[in-house]
Copies of this chain bind each other. A is one copy, B any other.
């Protein structure tokens, strides 16, 4: 007997999963090891920037009032009383017609209210004294970057949930964050099911295929910012599969299985969910590929039963598992970034269901284009290799022509979005 399942819309499936979202804990890591992690605390300015009035150029700091008489035809002269580099601190307060030679980034000495760039100054010695002359009148404030003009103390510079990139590391270092609170990575277990599966290093045998899903999913988990734990592959045998899955649940935050969720004779997952006492949230979604994607919950732990078919498995992870991981990681925009794009090729075959087609983004003179990545059969792994987006094609009785506007979910983009739009 073939069980008849009722498919639910994609947005409903996403909403059902997100009811069980949890935020992870924070952990402290050193600034050296925080790349690509998500902030669990905002970055706050611990001091004003710049922390003192500073010079944007090499030149002479002086009192602008002393240049009042300067003109093309009349030079004014200054005694150079001190000579400081960046990192050195001026010690002298400038008096009338005195100047301090300073370097880019240096603190402006007391008394000075402007900086004359080297280019407008002449340096010379007379009677063993260092002197400088200029022919230009300067306003107070010229070439001075005032304390706090860029950032005030206590300003929130970056919100929690942001991913740490090179620019953000500069900000962390500037404010003395030698350590930073980041979101702890959830541990996501992976179990591949299917008697037909060979290990990657096994010779191909008739009727069998190598287990590619586990490696793919482990890589998707890593890209999503979580830690994968691979428990190996299981033959389609109930008792041992049940035991492995039951034990794995104790070691992980989230568990993914691949395969066994269809209605075939060897699809054991429905019975395993039952014996575990896990509530099945849905087991059929109105989408292609991945219609058999099943999600169950035991206590507050999510079990993702992804299809054994590589493309369906890939799509199922990105649509349903990834946002749960992102929320765990404090990301306030847990869903894949969705943008409009222009279809570059005809896609003639209609399908009554919403499709998520493995695709890649092109850029054409300021417009976003999208092309299907190779043959789009759900059992073709090769088209996954160049995929960086999922094209969303609404179900219906007609195909799509080149030039149509479609939605695209960006897979490599660090930005996400707050709400799932997908297939509204």
Contact = CB atoms under 8 A, between A and B. Distances in A.
Contact of A171 (B158, B195, B384): B384
A117 to B, nearest CB: 10
B47 A204 contact: yes
B215 A201 contact: no
A206 B340 contact: no
A366 to B, nearest CB: 4
A337 B331 CA distance: 27
A203 B339 CA distance: 45
Nearest to A174: B212
A150 interface: yes
A212 B314 contact: no
A26 interface: no
A71 interface: no
A379 interface: yes
Interface in A213-244: 213-220, 222-223, 235-236
Given A358-B167, A366-B342, A368-B363, A207 B106 contact: yes
B209 A174 contact: yes
A339 B314 contact: no
B264 A167 contact: no
A213 to B, nearest CB: 7
A253 interface: no
A236 B236 CA distance: 68
Contact of A216 (B56, B87, B166, B178): B166
Contacts of A84: 207
B207 A171 contact: no
B207 A103 contact: no
Interface in A354-381: 358, 363, 365-368, 375, 377, 379-381
Determine how many copies of this chain the complex contains: 2
Given A87-B194, A178-B201, A340-B363, A166 B384 contact: yes
Nearest to A117: B2
A377 B314 CA distance: 43
Interface string A118-162: 110000000000000000000000000100001100000110001
Contacts of A204: 47, 51, 176
B216 A379 contact: no
A321 to B, nearest CB: 12
Contact of A382 (B49, B308, B314, B386): B49
Interface string A156-194: 011000101111111111111110000000000000001
Contact of A89 (B207, B310, B381): B207
Contacts of A196: 85-88, 105-106
Contact of A174 (B339, B375, B381): B381
23 contacts: A50-B209, A51-B204, A51-B209, A56-B379, A58-B262, A58-B264, A84-B207, A85-B264, A86-B196, A87-B235, A88-B195, A106-B207, A150-B380, A165-B219, A165-B387, A166-B314, A171-B384, A174-B381, A174-B382, A178-B201, A366-B367, A368-B368, A388-B415
